[in-house]
Amino acid sequence: EAQVTQNPRYLITVTGKKLTVTCSQNMNHEYMSWYRQDPGLGLRQIYYSMNVEVTDKGDVPEGYKVSRKEKRNFPLILESPSPNQTSLYFCASSLLALSSYNSPLHFGNGTRLTVT
């Protein structure tokens, strides 16, 4: 089954303890992206990747890192999490970077992160 898989689904951690949220897609998609969803703010893009070894900042990249060493994986790294990074995170992928055409975004089921 074609899907975007995020792990874990739920994560509670403490301020400053490094964590990684994994994202994997099995559709051979070139484009991958991370979003955070907060009440009243909708979805905001954190980072995106057009292809292997190509990453770029979205609208809210501060405090996050990403890597794209393989086409299928796009982990989100929080080196020193803070409470303001408590949020619902979504990974998404698209066949091509041009989601305007016949390559819509496919989303994972989300990771709910709480930083205390």
Give residues in contact with other proteins (CB under 8 A).
Answer: 4, 31, 33, 40-45, 48, 50, 56, 58, 90, 92, 94, 97-101, 103-105, 107-110
66 Cβ contact partners less than 8 Å away, ≥ 6 residues apart = 34, 46, 47, 49, 55, 74, 75, 76, 77
| Residue owning tokens 């990771």 | 111
Closest distance of CB 60 from other proteins, Å:
13
Q: How far apart are CA 66 and CA 55, in angstroms?
A: 8
Closest distance of CB 115 from other proteins, Å:
21
Q: Where are the alpha helices (DSSP H) in the chain?
A: none
Residue 36 or 85 having the CB closest to other proteins: 36
Residue 81 or 89 having the CB closest to other proteins: 89
Closest distance of CB 45 from other proteins, Å:
7
Name the phi and psi angles at 85, rounded to 5.
-95, 5
Residue 8 or 16 having the CB closest to other proteins: 8
